[in-house]
Amino acid sequence: MLHLFDTATGTVTPLRRRTPGEVSMYVCGPTVYGPPHLGHGRFALVFDVLRRYLMWSGDEVVYVSNITDVDDKIIDRAAAEHTTADVVAHHWEQMWWQAMDRIGVLRPTHDPHATAYIADMVALVADLIDRGAAYVLDDGVYFDSSAVADYGLLARQSLDSLRAGARVDVDDAKRSPTDFALWKLAKPGEPAWPSPWGAGRPGWHTECVVMSLDLLGDGFDLHGGGADLAFPHHENERAQAMACGRPFARHWMHNGFVEVGGEKMSKSLGNFTDLTDLCDRHDPRAYRLLVLRSHYRSPVEVSEASATDATRALERLDAFARRMAPLLSNGSANVSGNSHAGVTPDPAVLDSFARAMDDDLDTPAVMDLVFTTVRSANALADAGNADAAAPLGAAVFVVCEAVGLMLDAGAADAEVPAELLELARQRDAARANRDFAAADHLRDRIQAAGWVVEDTADGTALRPG
C-alpha cells in the first residue's frame, strides 16, 4: 500500500483512492513563456516516477497536467519580441514536449490548456461572486480569502499570520493581501476574452481548479507540483473549490527544489539550469538517475560534477545490461530496452522494490537495491553461475523500467560500421595467433574511431565510446 507525505496534514499517510484500482492525479504544468529548466524537469520526473510505479502496481492512472498558455509573462515576452502571446505560447509549448520526450516523461492522459477553459472559468468566477466569496474592483475580480475557514492549510499557517507576513504593496484596493485576482481586466493590446465584468483574462489560480474538476471530477485523488506551488497557488485553487462547495484533491504532494551551489536554482546562475542544455551535455537519463537518487522532498544538487557522476553510474548499469541481455533473451530475440523475456525476475528484489516505493517513494533505497543487485548478479556471473545471475538481472530490468530508467543493452552488430566489425574480426584472429602487437594495433584503430573495445567470451565486442 503506497504511503505518501501529504502537505495538507504534514504526515505520511496511505494514498486513499476515490475508486479502488484507479488513481486520478493532477500535476501543475508549465507556463509556456521560456525554455524548460531543471526545476520543471524535476517535478516532471518525480511525478512520472510516481505514475509509472502506480501503473506497475496495477493501478489505472489518469494523469492530467496542464499548459498555462495565458499569463502576464507570456504577454510580456510577446511584447518584447514584437509578436503575439499566442505565438510565444505555442513555440514554448513545443519546446516543453520535446524536452519531456527527451527525459522520458510519459505524455499526460490529458493536457488541458487554459485558453480552452475560459468560459468555464468565467462561470466559476460568477459563481464565487454569487456565493459572496469574491468581489469586483475596477481592475478585476478578487477572491476573498476570508471566505474559506481553513485558508492557509497548505501553507500550514493561519490567515492572520499570512497577512502579517505579506510583502505585497498595499497600493491596490484588495481587501486583504491574501486575496487574489480571479479575473484581470485587459489593458489595451492585451489578449482578452469577454466576461460580465469586462474583457480580460483569468487569474493564474483559477484554471487548475476548473480543469482538474472537469477532467478528474470532484474529490480526485492527488494534486501535485513543485514546493513553491503549495502556497499560494495550490492554496488558492483549493480555496476556490472549497468556496464553491466542491470537494477538491484528497492528497497533496510537493517536490523539493533543484539547487545549484546550495541555492535554489535560478536563471542568473548560468545556462546549466536549462533542461535542454543538460540533455545536450549529458545522457538525458542521467538527470532521472540524479532525481531518483535523492528523495523527492529533499533538495537535489545539480552541477556539471553531479551530472557526470550520474552518467558514470549509468554506464555501469548499461554495462550490466549488456552483460545480462544474452542471458535474458533466450539468445535469439533482439534485446533492446528492458526486455527480459523468458526469465522470472527475482521475487525478493521486486518485493524490496515495492516496500521502498510504498514508503513515500523511497527511490534512494531503490537505487541502493539496484546497484547492490547488480553487484550480486555480476559476482554470480563471474563465478560462472549464469542461471543464478539471470533472475537478478531480470529484476534489475523490471525495477529500472518501473521507475522509467531505461537501460541500454547496447548496439546490435548491425549498428556497428562494417569496417569496424572487420577490424574486430581481424583482431580476434591476431589474438588467436598470439600476435598481440597486431591485436593492439587493431584495437587502437577501433578506439580511434570512437568505439570502446571489450574482450568477451565471444571475442571482441564494440560499443560507442
Partner RNA sequence: GGCGGCGUGGCCGAGUGGCUUAGGCAGGGGCCUGCAAAGCCCCGUACGUCGGUUCGAUUCCGACCGCCGCCUCCA
In angstroms, the CA 225 to CA 427 distance is 54
Beta carbon nearer to RNA, 18 or 426? 426
Cβ distance to RNA smaller for residue 42 or 51: 42
- Which of 104, 177, 217, 219 binds RNA (CB under 7 A)? It is 177
State the number of binding residues for RNA (CB under 7 A): 83
Strands in 261-327 per DSSP E: 263-264, 300-301
Stretches 84-92, 116-124, 257-265, 346-354: which one binds RNA (CB under 7 A)? 257-265
The stretch among 98-106, 160-168, 345-353, 395-403 that binds RNA (CB under 7 A) is 160-168
Q: Which is nearer to RNA, 157 or 336 (CB)?
A: 157
* Alpha-carbon distances, residue 435 vs 340, 424, 458 (angstroms): 38, 14, 18
Which span (27-35, 97-105, 344-352, 395-403) binds RNA, by CB under 7 A? 27-35
Q: Under the criterion CB under 7 A, does residue 329 sit at the interface with RNA?
A: no
Q: How far is the CB of 405 from RNA (least distance, A)?
A: 13
CB 72 within 8 A of CB 65: no
Closest by CA position to 96, among listed 119, 114, 69? 69
In angstroms, give the least distance from the CB of 353 to RNA: 14
Nearest to 115 by CA among 72, 69, 75, 66: 69
CA-based nearest residue to 401, from 462, 345, 319? 345
Site residues (CB under 7 A) for RNA, limited to 309-328: 309-310, 312-313, 316, 319-320, 323
What does the block give as the cell for 445? 584503430
Long-range Cβ pairs for the range 310-315 (8 Å, 24+): 310/282, 310/286, 311/282, 311/283, 311/286, 313/289, 313/371, 314/283, 314/285, 314/286, 314/289
Pairwise CA distance, residues 33 & 95, whole Å: 10
Amino acid at 50: L
Q: What share of the chain is helix, strand, coil (3-state, %, to 5)?
A: 50, 15, 35
Of 115 and 294, which CB lies nearer to RNA in the complex structure? 294
Q: Which of 64, 10, 41, 27 is nearest to 225 (CA)?
A: 27
Distance (Å, whole) CA 271 – CA 53: 32
What amino acid occupies position 401? E
Return the HEC string of 90-133. Answer: HHHHHHHHHHHHHCCCCCCCECCEHHHHHHHHHHHHHHHHHCCC
Q: In angstroms, what is the minimal distance from the CB of 316 to RNA?
A: 4
Binding of RNA by 168 (CB under 7 A): yes
**What track of x and - describes contact with RNA for positions 432 through 451 (by CB under 7 A)?**
----x--xx-----------
Interaction mask 387-426, RNA, x per CB under 7 A: ----------------------------------------
Phi/psi class of residue 58: alpha, beta or left (left: φ > 0; alpha: ψ in -120 to 50)?
left
Q: Is 228 in the site for RNA (CB under 7 A)?
A: yes
Closer to RNA by Cβ: residue 399 or 453: 453
The yes or no reply on residue 26 touching RNA (CB under 7 A) is: no
Which stretch, 50-58, 133-141, 158-166, 183-191, contacts RNA (CB under 7 A)?
158-166
Contact letters for RNA, residues 272-311 (x by CB under 7 A) = ------------------x--xxx--xxxx---xx-xxx-
Shortest distance (Å) from residue 452 CB to RNA? 5
Between residue 84 and residue 143, which ones bind RNA under the rule CB under 7 A? none
Residue placing its CB nearer to RNA in the complex, 370 or 402? 370
Residue number with CB closer to RNA (113 or 264): 264
263 binds RNA (CB under 7 A): yes
* In the complex, least distance from residue 164 CB atom to RNA, rounded to whole angstroms: 6
C-alpha–C-alpha distance, residues 399 and 397, integer Å = 6
- In the region spanning residues 31 to 50, those forming contacts with RNA, defined by CB under 7 A, are 31, 37-40, 42-43
> Quick check: 76 binds RNA (CB under 7 A)?
no
- Judged by CB under 7 A, the residue of 138, 188, 245, 382 near RNA is 382
